[in-house]
Amino acid sequence: MTRYRIIFSGSGGQGLVSAAIILAETAVMHENLEAVQSQSYGAAARGGATRADVIISDGPINLPKVFQPGILICMTQEAYNKFSNLIRPGGLLIVDSKFVKTTQRVDARQVELPLHQTVMDEIGNPVVLNICVLGALIGMCGIVKKSSIEKTLAEKFPPAFMAGNQMALDIGFEMGFEHAE
Amino acid sequence: MTRYRIIFSGSGGQGLVSAAIILAETAVMHENLEAVQSQSYGAAARGGATRADVIISDGPINLPKVFQPGILICMTQEAYNKFSNLIRPGGLLIVDSKFVKTTQRVDARQVELPLHQTVMDEIGNPVVLNICVLGALIGMCGIVKKSSIEKTLAEKFPPAFMAGNQMALDIGFEMGFEHAE
Amino acid sequence: MGKNIAFVQGNEACALGAMYAGLDFYAGYPITPSTEIAETLAVKLPAAGKKFIQMEDEISSMCAIIGASLTGNKVMTATSGPGFSLMQEALGYAVMTEIPCVVVNVQRGGPSTGNPTHVSQGDVNQARWGTHGDHSIVALTASNHQDVFRMTVEAFNIAETYRTPVILLFDETVGHMREKLVIPKEGSIPLVQRLRTSVKEGVNYHPYLPREDGRLPMSDFGGAHRYNVTGLYHDMWGFPTDKPEVVQELLKHLIDKIENNAHKITFHRSYYLEDARTVLISYGSAARSALSAVEQLRNRGQRIGLLELNTIWPFPAQLVRESTRGVNLVGVVEMNVGQLTQMVKLAVGKPKKVSLINRVDCQMITDKDIKKVLRVLQGRGV
Amino acid sequence: MGKNIAFVQGNEACALGAMYAGLDFYAGYPITPSTEIAETLAVKLPAAGKKFIQMEDEISSMCAIIGASLTGNKVMTATSGPGFSLMQEALGYAVMTEIPCVVVNVQRGGPSTGNPTHVSQGDVNQARWGTHGDHSIVALTASNHQDVFRMTVEAFNIAETYRTPVILLFDETVGHMREKLVIPKEGSIPLVQRLRTSVKEGVNYHPYLPREDGRLPMSDFGGAHRYNVTGLYHDMWGFPTDKPEVVQELLKHLIDKIENNAHKITFHRSYYLEDARTVLISYGSAARSALSAVEQLRNRGQRIGLLELNTIWPFPAQLVRESTRGVNLVGVVEMNVGQLTQMVKLAVGKPKKVSLINRVDCQMITDKDIKKVLRVLQGRGV
Amino acid sequence: MAKKKLKEHIINRDWCKGCGICVAMCPKNVLELDQEEKAVAVRIQDCIVCQLCEQICPDLAIEVVIEESSAKGEPEAKDD
Amino acid sequence: MAKKKLKEHIINRDWCKGCGICVAMCPKNVLELDQEEKAVAVRIQDCIVCQLCEQICPDLAIEVVIEESSAKGEPEAKDD
Amino acid sequence: MDVKHYLRERFFPHIWCAGCGHGIVLNALIRAVDELQIKKKEMVMVSGIGCSSRISGYVDFHSLHTLHGRALAFATGVKMGKPELNVIVPMGDGDALAIGGNHFIHAARRNINITAMVMNNRTYGMTGGQYSPLSGIGIKATTAPYTNIDRDFDTVELATAAGATFVARTTVYHVKQLQDFLKKAIQHNGFSMVEILTQCPTYFGRKNKKGSAVDMLQSFKDGTVPIGSDKKKENPELIERGIFVDKELPEYCQAYERIVEIATGR
Amino acid sequence: MDVKHYLRERFFPHIWCAGCGHGIVLNALIRAVDELQIKKKEMVMVSGIGCSSRISGYVDFHSLHTLHGRALAFATGVKMGKPELNVIVPMGDGDALAIGGNHFIHAARRNINITAMVMNNRTYGMTGGQYSPLSGIGIKATTAPYTNIDRDFDTVELATAAGATFVARTTVYHVKQLQDFLKKAIQHNGFSMVEILTQCPTYFGRKNKKGSAVDMLQSFKDGTVPIGSDKKKENPELIERGIFVDKELPEYCQAYERIVEIATGR
Ligand SMILES: Cc1ncc(C[n+]2csc(CCOP(=O)(O)OP(=O)(O)O)c2C)c(N)n1
Ligand SMILES: Cc1ncc(C[n+]2csc(CCOP(=O)(O)OP(=O)(O)O)c2C)c(N)n1
Ligand code: SF4
Ligand code: SF4
Ligand code: SF4
Ligand code: SF4
């Protein structure tokens, strides 16, 4: 039984909860997997660091929260400071190189990607950053097929958004794929 | 241990609850007796027959309600119809001869007194009817001293009311005393 | 006889007890059968230079007394079933913020508007669990005016000592009936005054940091210390937090300060328990009938006794256990479907020994009713 | 994969279940963590030609659904702790007047405003006893979206069958998390439609005269029969009365119709109970962790099982008794100070066998937490 | 509209509580309270069939019955 | 009142959330958001010390410090 | 007309005290309904708790006797649940404006087609004569033994400000006007409110030495004037009677129909 | 002035979103208090629940963060309990006028010396953007996906009709006026209400395409006029700013003092 335990973390406006939902929804709707998604709510969410948890598995999932993520994505310094110590030994830590200075030493593979920079350079609109993150994640780790993500995006967004999303997904996927093990 | 169980019954405006309270209060405040008083409340009280219960004793009283009155006073036909069957065998039933036609046969001494008529004839104001009732009751049965009732009346009413109350009490007392056993 | 004797309704006895205890502020909304408490206080409080206000409803009444308590007043409200249901949210707020206050519920027939002018003891479990979330609560009751008075005074004492709302759970019969009340001399029932902080102005005051003994000294609003009060989980300064360890510690504190002091706030009366083989447990007006039944059966030679509870919550499990040890039959006399009977069963440990003796038609249970059920329970038929 | 699969929050699953059950009318007031139920229905109901209204508060929401139910609609409201406290008075009205309705409480940390965005199961006893007066109530819960959906449908079925409010007692974790939901085909969960009277216009209809089977056929407001509905004790025509025999009979009816049918409305799931020597009993999101713990311990050879309750009230005492017969240890896993544990103790009869395994810091209890306590209970230290 | 003609006052003695409102409000002083404090029409001949007594009786105890011929007529509006 | 003279803008970067309100509201276009989306005073010389930025900042992150000499002066009332 | 056609006779004589104005309101209401020729099965009375609220039990309509202060909230459910029904909500001043004030202003704001009758006797009759938000300063009540310091609402102004689209005031002395206003209110498409000054001789009257029920009725005659009357200028204490607001604005249930159309794409 | 003197710095940066108008209200409030030279220990803030209500936690006054909608009821207890305190009650539009509407009108009616600030962002911010009784028809919200059919209250009219003796309205754009009105409201002896139009860019703004916080601020400038402005005649949609009511009537706690005098025979 494969089981992915992923935390997306960053700040409120970055759309990381959406990214988490898209990922989990794709697993369930298009890959016949089980997935559970949850997130932090409330004052914690309005101010400081957001966090969205995703567990994906080919068998039933009982616990809905991630305690030790195998994959941790940090899109702000604050998120990195708060969550990086949670990571499972030998896990994967993805950070945006613009926002995060990786200071802590963690027993995990740390990958720093210039996601924000690239999105701004090539698309010029930060709203698709979250899709780019998603692209990088699946480029690096698989989890679900890129085409499945595309299906979900097509279902959830109006056609006008498709081009931007697709570009962001592709950019992210490529950057991630380079770091795939 | 002597124990008096008394029900005053009649209609809302007749002041019978007050009469009951005065009696019980007199027993407690001026005769060192125990007394418990209770009454019917609510829709029953607003419309139909009022009922006020008094128990007087020289020892502690547990039950606050009268189930079988030794003395029952009925000041309306409705009250008579409703309550006369409650009376304790051998008890005393006092009714106002103007308002009540004693129809039922009860195993009790029935005394019909023209209380209302006499009050109207001699005082001309029905508000003191209840005091007259009280006078009749203690005239007939004792229970508490007349002078004690007078003390309570003096405590509870402004001086302006004293004369009327006293007259009513006296009238009632006399009428009652005639029927004392 | 001096002025210290009064012939009053139970509701008046409660109002007089509150005045004795030092009530400063009352807010309420009329409802049968508790209205006379407000009506009495509407006369007494202004005459003592203290505050009375009739609010727009029960919710605001409960809120207003909490606000007034924070400015250093001893406070109370009174209501009955429907109003008590409406107060539940704000009652929980007082629990969470540890604001001393006394809430009277003169029980009438429920559920819903039910039977406003008749008696019931149906709100016992609501008093315990009516507001959302885990918590503990104190609820006292009484069967006669002397105890109504005394329990009212103790309610204020407990509220101030433990910084908690205290519920006075009376019933229509006791509330409405009149009997003698001997008003205790000043000082004869000790009064607890609010524990105020000794922390000086300018020095850090922690409104929600319990002392060693679990007590929390207060500082009046308008006084030297400015702090925050919130119904959210909060830290020792009174500021919101959702830190798990702080949350858990606060909840434990709220519960422990009551449960661990249960023995100190357990009031009761025992009648003929020494050699009793049958024990009745009762409270409120039902206990009057229970006592009457017990005395009659004693006269006939039965070894029967009565444990009358004045403290219902925290449930005096230990007292009940001790009072029923070695007893054959425990009869719980209450005017509901057995709300306290469950607690007695848990306390006694042998649920089968415990039977409910009740009445649920909004009529006062009588000595006869009780004797009848006892005969059956004792295997002697009807 | 067809359209019958959805990836949704528990709150959405509840809303979808309600739509499936035939919800006609929703009134509510937003509150975390239940708001998504309203938000989903604000989209779905108008699109189905049905009614959605956001009221001025929770009290009016509860009142509005009762009013709408009387005109023949299937109705629901949803809230969380503080709002649920506010609904207690009107909830009791629905109990007394026997109006079918469904009330969702997605539990958050209490008491008071507590911890709005975190999980708790602290309202279990409030669901039972929150409104004043004796009464019975139905409360269902679920640990996963499939059951959230199904229990929501069953809530409507029970409400309509027994003419009673039914409480859906979910929790923040289940309400907010997203997982797969397979939407059952139309007809695959049977729906109960309201039983309407067959009495013709002009013939005497007794709205509150139960049939032999205890059921009360209804007549919609606006329909052939004009009758009275009141929260006061009432006779078979729905008119107020305080006649003791009528009062008692009505109260008994209100209680019996629930308690005597407990077996018909008991929903649960059993896992590995057959040979279990240790049985966990749990419900709501806590049951997810309990199942996880049980599966891990089974893998290590322990004879442990799980009884997951979907029906909390009426408490399934018989089921619990049967499921724990001959068992050494019963662990009740819940996120409160042991509210259901007491009921389990009473049901099991041997209170000492029953232990609470809980968490009260508004964090989800984990498999680890449970395993740790079990080790201690089994005498194996930490 | 045809002038209405009185047939009779039906006064429901079970419902009448003797408040005296009809007595005081009747513009023609037609009504009185009797010994038992129940309303009775004593000066029927003076009645102008304004029906105020019927409409203001808080106990709904009075019916002013009009002679058949005009019974279907609208009651006269009266107000200040 | 003496014309106020600017000493400095103290901008609390920890509190500023970069909403840009001060930037937009400043009548003299003195302020800008920097790379990190924090307000900075870039055209200090243009500042007329109206203190609007200070008073409208929703994060209470700006203090417009006035030269000592006139520091005690009342802030100028300004409204439409 | 046959009054009894509209009454549940077996509950008469009613529970109200002798001379209580609530009976006059009942009397006027059934006449209004009769004149409008509305079928009884199309009428719903929703009331709260109070002496006034008992009115709903006496009429042979669909009747819903609810909780103190909440009648308009229940009524909102009834009306939205079946918009074709005529929904009337009789309330005491406490019921409507003390505990029920919030539902009062919100029902008015939504302009839902309900008729609210505020039977204003300036006291809580049912619980024995406490002061209400309409008692006014200087009044005596069991909870205001030293006179009341609570200012009173102007019900008409409050309803108007809250958004009611039909607002009127009259008294039980003015029975014809009362019938007329009730008819207009019921016919109005939107939230209508009629304030009816009425007497509680038992508590308000007795406590405040207002004399008999007849005296109190008389005081409604003497103490009120039609809107705009010159007398009001001389004596500002006089209370105006009449229709203060009568305007058409989108009714709530009808507006909801539009939402359904949008949502279903009809 | 030293803003931080009035703040509980350790809770900053505050929890409000970037550009949220609530912070501007906080900013204005402490300036108003500073100018009035009221001691911090004489100030009490009593709030309910909502983003707006969090304001009480940020000021270094006595602060009471209560239940949704109930702040004015708690405040009534605080004020009566210690009338010498200045009691300020900040509320969101939902807090003040949805669930809290009844306490709002009753506090106004009593004319108790409390200052109510209604921070009107036309939505429930805290719970994520549902419609409120001040949203108005046509607005979109998470619970009004097909647009809102609920009419809005006019807060000023409602407060006036309920009896408030100081009633004003302004916006967070007009910071100086805001400070001024708050000062006057605090100084007023009686119930004062200041409605403050403020922006929730996160929910109301986003759902209704109102642009950035700056755009929304700008709309307060363009969408409002001083009371009596001619522009309003041309464009009735414009909202008036200014002081609508300012009158002296007996204050509740002072009136109560008189009752004590009567009762004690002083
Ligand atoms: C929640 C709740 N609070 C209080 C009461 C008690 N109560 C019943 S009626 C009433 C007020 C009655 O006054 P009003 O509404 O003016 O009507 P009236 O009796 O004068 O006609 C009150 C306070 C109640 N039944 N329920
Ligand atoms: C009794 C109760 N009902 C509902 C809620 C949920 N709730 C919290 S704040 C809020 C509304 C917030 O809106 P508003 O008062 O306008 O303030 P804002 O957040 O917009 O500043 C709601 C519905 C609650 N906390 N308590
Ligand atoms: S109808 Fe008119 S005139 Fe005739 S008795 Fe009645 S009130 Fe008097
Ligand atoms: S003080 Fe005025 S001019 Fe100077 S930066 Fe601030 S807003 Fe601009
Ligand atoms: S108490 Fe007053 S309002 Fe109630 S019935 Fe009697 S007179 Fe009417
Ligand atoms: S949600 Fe809206 S009201 Fe709340 S802090 Fe954010 S912008 Fe302000």
pLDDT per residue over C233-245, tens digit each? 999 999 999 999 9
Dist CA C30 CA C32 (whole Å): 7
Work out the minimum CA distance from G142 to partner chain C, whole angstroms.
Answer: 6
**Contact (Cβ atoms closer than 8 angstroms) between residue G158 and residue G102:** no
- Find the distance separating the first CA and the last CA of chain B, reported in whole Å: 20
- Which of chain A's residues have a Cβ under 8 Å away from the Cβ of D366? 63, 67
Tell me the two tokens of residue G209: 């030495």
Does the pLDDT of residue E74 top 70, yes or no?
Answer: no
Q: Which of A40, A46, A50 to substitute to test the interface with H, most H CBs within 10 Å?
A: A46
Tell me the two tokens of residue C315: 């449930």
Does the pLDDT of residue F79 top 80, yes or no?
Answer: no
Q: What angle do CA D21, D26, D29 make, to 5 degrees?
A: 135
- Per-residue confidence band for E3, with pLDDT thresholds at 50, 70 and 90: confident
Does the pLDDT of residue E73 top 60, yes or no?
Answer: no
Residues B119-144 have pLDDT tens digits of: 999 999 899 999 999 999 999 999 99
Q: Where are the alpha helices (DSSP H) in D8-123?
A: 10-21, 35-47, 58-70, 81-86, 88-97
Dist CA D179 CA D174 (whole Å): 9
Does the pLDDT of residue C382 top 70, yes or no?
Answer: yes
CB within 8 Å of chain E, chain G residues 116-175: 172-175
Long-range contacts of B115-122 (CB under 8 A, 24+ apart): B115/B75, B115/B172, B115/B175, B116/B75, B118/B171, B118/B175, B119/B168, B119/B171, B122/B167, B122/B171
Tell me the two tokens of residue D173: 């974790």
Cβ neighbours for B99, distance < 8 A, ≥ 6 positions apart: B10, B75, B76, B77, B116
Tell me the two tokens of residue D123: 């309202």
Per-residue pLDDT, H5: 96
Cβ neighbours for C228, distance < 8 A, ≥ 6 positions apart: C207, C234, C237, C238, C239, H8, H56, H57, H63, H64, H65
- The residue in chain G having the minimum alpha-carbon distance to the alpha carbon of residue B41 is G127
Residue closest via CA to ligand 6's atom 2 equals: H200
Please state the length of chain A.
Answer: 181
CA distances D18 to C325, C368, D14, H144, Å, are 52, 51, 6, 19
Tell me the two tokens of residue H222: 């363009």
Dist CA D84 CA C88 (whole Å): 10
Please check whether residue G13 touches B, CB under 8 A.
yes
Dist CA D369 CA D372 (whole Å): 5
Candidates H99, H86, H97, H93; CA nearest to H52 is H93
List beta partners, residue H45: H63, H88
Residue closest via CA to ligand 4's atom 6 equals: F53
Count the Cβ atoms, other than its own, within 10 Å of residue A155.
Answer: 12
**Contact (Cβ atoms closer than 8 angstroms) between residue H87 and residue H115:** yes
**Contact (Cβ atoms closer than 8 angstroms) between residue C207 and residue C227:** yes
Residues D314-349 have pLDDT tens digits of: 999 999 999 999 999 999 999 999 999 999 999 998
Residues C42-79 have pLDDT tens digits of: 999 999 999 999 999 999 999 999 999 999 999 999 99
- From the CB of D82, is ligand 2 less than 6 Å away? yes
Please state the length of chain B.
Answer: 181
Per-residue pLDDT, F76: 46
Mean pLDDT of G47-67: 97
Residues G247-264, buried b or exposed e (16+ Cβ, 10 A)? eeebbbbebbeebbeebe
3-state secondary structure string across chain A: CCEEEEEEEEEHHHCHHHHHHHHHHHHHHHCCCEEEEEECCCHHHHCCEEEEEEEEECCCCCCCCCCCCCEEEECCHHHHHHHHHHCCCCEEEEEECCCCCCCCCCCEEEEEECHHHHHHHHCCCHHHHHHHHHHHHHHHHCCCCHHHHHHHHHHHCCHHHHHHHHHHHHHHHHHHHHCCC
Q: How does the average pLDDT of chain A come out, rounded?
A: 92
Does the pLDDT of residue A41 top 80, yes or no?
Answer: no
CA distances G266 to A122, D26, G257, G259, G262, Å, are 44, 22, 11, 10, 7
Q: Do G110 and H150 touch (CB under 8 A)?
A: yes
- Which of chain C's residues have a Cβ under 8 Å away from the Cβ of B21? 7, 178
**Contact (Cβ atoms closer than 8 angstroms) between residue D246 and residue D299:** no
**Exposure of C16 in the CB half-sphere (CA atoms within 13 A):** 24
**Contact (Cβ atoms closer than 8 angstroms) between residue B71 and residue B110:** no
Per-residue pLDDT, B48: 67
Dist CA C149 CA D230 (whole Å): 36
Tell me the two tokens of residue F22: 């001060």
Please report where in the chains the tokens 């002041």 appear, as a residue.
B15
DSSP category for residue D218? B
- Per-residue confidence band for E77, with pLDDT thresholds at 50, 70 and 90: very low
| Phi, psi (rounded to 5 degrees) for H96 | -80, -40
Per-residue pLDDT, D382: 77
- The residue in chain G having the minimum alpha-carbon distance to the alpha carbon of residue H100 is G102
CA of H124 from ligand 2 middle (Å) equals 6
Residues A88-127 have pLDDT tens digits of: 999 999 999 999 998 877 889 999 999 999 999 999 999 9
Q: Does H touch G (3+ CB pairs < 8 Å)? A: yes
- From the CB of F61, is ligand 4 less than 6 Å away? no
* Cα D96 from chain centre: 18
Does the pLDDT of residue E76 top 50, yes or no?
Answer: no
Per-residue pLDDT, A1: 63
CA distances G80 to D75, D195, F69, G182, Å, are 12, 22, 68, 21
CB within 8 Å of chain G, chain B residues 45-64: 46-47
**Contact (Cβ atoms closer than 8 angstroms) between residue B17 and residue B52:** yes
For chain D (382 residues), the mean pLDDT of every run of 10, in chain order, is 84 98 98 98 98 98 98 98 98 98 98 97 98 98 98 98 98 98 96 96 94 93 97 97 97 97 97 97 98 97 98 98 96 98 94 95 97 94 81
Q: Do G41 and D223 touch (CB under 8 A)?
A: yes
Per-residue pLDDT, A47: 57
Residues in chain B with pLDDT values less than 50: 44-45
Q: What ipTM does the predicted assembly reach? A: 0.97
pLDDT tens sequence for chain H (266 residues):
899 999 999 999 999 999 999 999 999 999 999 999 999 999 999 999 999 999 999 999 999 999 999 999 999 999 999 999 999 999 999 999 999 999 999 999 999 999 999 999 999 999 999 999 999 999 999 999 999 999 999 999 999 999 999 999 999 999 999 999 999 999 999 999 999 999 999 999 999 999 999 999 999 999 999 999 999 999 999 999 999 999 999 999 999 999 999 999 97
- From the CB of G52, is ligand 1 less than 6 Å away? yes
Residue closest via CA to ligand 5's atom 5 equals: G16
Higher per-residue pLDDT: A176 or E3: A176
Mean pLDDT of G193-215: 97
E-G contacts (CB, under 8 Å)? 82
Q: Which residues line ligand 5 (CB under 6 A)?
A: G 16-17, 20, 22, 51, 121, 125, 200-203
Dist CA H173 CA H97 (whole Å): 22
Please check whether residue B160 touches D, CB under 8 A.
no
pTM comes to: 0.97
Please check whether residue D129 touches C, CB under 8 A.
yes
Please check whether residue D350 touches C, CB under 8 A.
no
- From the CB of G132, is ligand 1 less than 6 Å away? yes
CA distances A157 to A163, B89, D7, D159, Å, are 11, 89, 16, 39
In chain A, % of residues over pLDDT 70: 96
| Closest ligand by atom to H18 CA | 6
Neighbours of chain G (3+ CB pairs under 8 A): B, C, D, E, H
Q: Which residues line ligand 6 (CB under 6 A)?
A: H 16-17, 20, 22, 51, 121, 125, 200-203
- Which of chain A's residues have a Cβ under 8 Å away from the Cβ of D295? 62
Dist CA C219 CA C206 (whole Å): 10
**Nearest-10 Cα torsion for C11, C16, C22, C26:** 40
Helix orientation angle between B162-178 and B129-141, rounded to the nearest 10 degrees? 40
Ligand 2: which atom is nearest the Cα of residue H67? 26
CA of E30 from ligand 3 middle (Å) equals 6
